[in-house]
Structure 1
Amino acid sequence: MSEDETPQPLEKLPLDAWHRANGARMVGFAGYEMPIQYEGILAEHEWTRTHAGLFDVSHMGQLMVTGTGANEALETLLPTAVSALKPGKVRYSLLLDENGGILDDLMITNFTGEDGEPAYYLVVNGATKWDDIGHLREHLPDEIGLNHMEDRALLALQGPDAAATLERVMRGITEDFGFMEARRWEFGELDLIVTRSGYTGEDGFEISVAADQAEQLAGRLLAELEIKPVGLGARDSLRLEAGLPLYGHDLSEETDPVSAGLEFAISKARRKDGGFPGAERILKLIDEGAPPRRVGLALEGRMAAREGAEVYSADTKVGTVTSGGFAPTLGHPIAMAYVDAAHSSEGTNLELEVRGKRLPATVVPMPFVPHRYFRKGAA
């Protein structure tokens, strides 16, 4: 930052006063003052794994793309088969630059109604939402509508008790409601957008609500004994255990989907037909393999390796850690790193340099902790 530049003031969440009244410790993240913890990261992490945690993720960008041809227009920017996405279904996708670099990762939902007018609800990362909006406005045709839903908050209810408690509060909402599905729901005077999704590896829901009604919704959910407020700290340790990448750390414009292990975000039809940004490069990487790969690492001992730690095989540097920390569920440190493909196989022994010491680590499959999403029809 140059001397004549001043830091931009942090924005406040709709629930800012509520967080503070409930004892949250607030920190700056993605341009907002965010609650990092209430009673403690470890306690909140374990509560979410065993009961249900309520997270405020209102810093995320909520966008609605509408108009005839919106599906085809979005397919020029995303590697998802948007036209094949049925109403009420959700997909994880990627906003790509012309070279196949990842501008952002996002969730897209088809909310086309009975009138047949295409409508797609996008949830994008908070730190990149303004760049995303600019990119979309630049590349979408003028006749396609783009609404930034700034007047809405977003809450995530996550954990094994999430479904039962939400059903208790909103009778009927979980009926025939599976992972990566969405619905609109009226709860009293509240008009909600609910998706069965999240970023903790647990079953759960993300609930969009009018910003001025967020406190009412949060209060009603927290009246259930199984639900407690959970901060940004536990959200990060949960998503790390779930092996989920975080934009700006594990993903960036310098990262391609294949190196990141996100080939699943490129639908089979798009692999065949291409037509998305960077398709030629990405499809070649799928066929031939990517030089670096995002891998999971299990560390010995108690010392954690953080972002930026170098990864070695003997005296040769073979990669860099992008996320790392102690895994409360496992009882030892874990990390995600990009390493040379030759050293990315499961069981490979490596070393991480932390504070002048070499820490033994082993390449392990991700997720580190199994996902517990609710899939309809599964045993």
Structure 2
Amino acid sequence: MTDTEDEFENLPAEQLPLDSWHRDHGARMVEFAGYEMPIQYEGIVAEHEWTRTRASLFDVSHMGQLMFAAADPGACAAALEALLPADLAHLKPRRVRYSMLLNETGGVLDDLMVTRLPDDSDAQFYMVVNGATKWDDIAHLREHLPDDITMTHLDDWALLALQGPEAAAALEALAPGVSDLGFMQAGSFEWAGGKASIWISRTGYSGEDGFEISIAADRVVAFADALVADERVKPAGLGARDSLRLEAGLPLYGHDLTEETDPVSAGLAFALSKSRHEAGGYMGHAACMVRLEDGGTAQRRVGLALEGRLPAREGAQVFAGDALVGTVTSGGFSPTLGHPIAMATIETEYAGNGTALELEVRGKRLPATVVPMPFVPHRYHRKGA
């Protein structure tokens, strides 16, 4: 590590635009992804269950919000397609896609959401990247994008996630028309009374119906106040967000996904747009296609259901008899199911649903079974469903 890197590592954690708001509402703060963030307010299980039945407000302003523009809109799509495996040229305005930044060997540098902006916008694409990787992502994008592509980091904007079955009704009162959005759709809305323009997508990482709301940082306190003034909405922290995304079977970068993980073994081959399988043109394409064409990979990400109440955490070893066959990447107790669950990367021959395995936790072997994901069914609002 260089002196400069060492100095960077010891920098104090940054504060979110809502830092004082969180503390005033009783949050317990922890350092995460270089920021001081709320891990809980009333308690992780209470916040988890409130999200499942009502609506919870999560602060995800640590994530990176990026805009991309070019004089030629087609050039902007083509430039991003050189780095992402998504079909952006045919993505309709106001539509959102899950995608990834890959390295040359098909390893995942980050997973992200990218949105095609309306034709009358100043930019063509909006992207949200993970907080822990955003500076590396920005450097990677700057290095590989052509000079005629303008990338803007919206570092003066906050990002909130309103999640739960009553999220739409609560948000509709502040942003009329937002209920018309379907899952993975987005648009620009006026905060009722002309208080601010906000960008809203019907997305989230809880498995529940919900929205992500981008708003200028100098307006976010007032907007958060307006949301929690609704009795259906309570603030929630990182703890509940993690237990919800685990039940939803959604990978967390840096844990279930790393640069050593590829989309195929991670069970994310759907993010490799079929229309680009042959033509390719994106970084890591050849490596990904070899894995697809070979009919599989040596390892796979799977879901595990554990017996008893003792959870297995990241790093726990997975055994088939005496053979070490994998490692837990995320794990915890499921409040919804009432027993521990985990995600693990294991050897493919043991990845079939129903396979009996054991996890080593605190020197004990715990019985576990490979089960389908999501552990808890998603409840996204899909139009026409």
Shorter chain as normaliser: what TM range? over 0.9
Given the alignment of the two structures, is residue 366 of structure 1 paired with residue 373 of structure 2, yes or no? yes
Please list the CA deviations of residues 352-376 of structure 1 after superposition, one character each: whole Å capped at 9, or x if unmatched: 0011100000000000000000000
- Specify the SS of the correspondent of 1:253: coil
Work out the CA distance in 2 between the residues paired with 1:231 and 1:140: 35
Which amino acid is 1:27 matched to? V
Question: Percent of aligned pairs with the same residue?
Answer: 64
Work out the CA distance in 1 between the residues paired with 2:3 and 2:340: 39
8 Å CA contact 2:354, 2:369 repeated in 1: yes
How far off is 1:2 after superposition? 8.8
8 Å CA contact 2:67, 2:123 repeated in 1: no
8 Å CA contact 1:89, 1:110 repeated in 2: yes
8 Å CA contact 2:228, 2:234 repeated in 1: yes
Distance of aligned partners of 1:111 and 1:37 in 2 relative to their CA distance in 1, 3 Å threshold: same
- Specify the SS of the correspondent of 1:346: coil
Given the alignment of the two structures, is residue 225 of structure 1 paired with residue 231 of structure 2, yes or no? yes
Work out the CA distance in 2 between the residues paired with 1:141 and 1:16: 37
Query: Which residue is equivalent to 2:363?
Result: 356
Given the alignment of the two structures, is residue 57 of structure 1 paired with residue 68 of structure 2, yes or no? no
Further displaced range: 166-175 or 278-287: 166-175
Query: Which residue is equivalent to 2:76?
Result: 70
* Structural mapping, 1:235-250, within 5 Å: 235-250=241-256
Please list the CA deviations of residues 217-261 of structure 1 after superposition, one character each: whole Å capped at 9, or x if unmatched: 101111111100000000000000000000000001000000100
Q: 1:85 aligns with which of 88, 91, 96?
A: 91
Work out the CA distance in 2 between the residues paired with 1:191 and 1:21: 26
8 Å CA contact 2:309, 2:340 repeated in 1: yes
Please list the CA deviations of residues 289-317 of structure 1 after superposition, one character each: whole Å capped at 9, or x if unmatched: 11100000000000000000000000000
Work out the CA distance in 1 between the residues paired with 2:95 and 2:175: 21
- Specify the SS of the correspondent of 2:292: helix
8 Å CA contact 1:71, 1:118 repeated in 2: no
TM-score normalised per structure 2: 0.96
- Specify the SS of the correspondent of 1:256: coil
8 Å CA contact 2:156, 2:217 repeated in 1: yes
8 Å CA contact 1:45, 1:234 repeated in 2: yes
Aligned residue pairs, count: 376
- Specify the SS of the correspondent of 2:159: strand
Which amino acid is 2:83 matched to? L
Q: 1:166 aligns with which of 161, 168, 171?
A: 171
8 Å CA contact 2:104, 2:287 repeated in 1: no
Given the alignment of the two structures, is residue 286 of structure 1 paired with residue 292 of structure 2, yes or no? yes
Query: Which residue is equivalent to 2:30?
Result: 27
Given the alignment of the two structures, is residue 329 of structure 1 paired with residue 336 of structure 2, yes or no? yes
Supply the RMSD in Å over aligned alpha carbons: 1.3
Post-superposition, which runs of at least 4 consecutive aligned residues in structure 1 deviate over 3 A?
Answer: 1-6
Q: 1:102 aligns with which of 87, 108, 118?
A: 108
Q: 2:327 aligns with which of 316, 320, 324?
A: 320
8 Å CA contact 1:249, 1:323 repeated in 2: yes
How far off is 1:12 after superposition? 0.1
Work out the CA distance in 2 between the residues paired with 1:123 and 1:172: 23
Which amino acid is 1:56 matched to? D
Which structure 2 residue ranges, 5 or more long, are not aligned? none
How far off is 1:112 after superposition? 3.7
Which amino acid is 1:180 matched to? M
Which amino acid is 1:24 matched to? A
Query: Which residue is equivalent to 1:143?
Result: 148
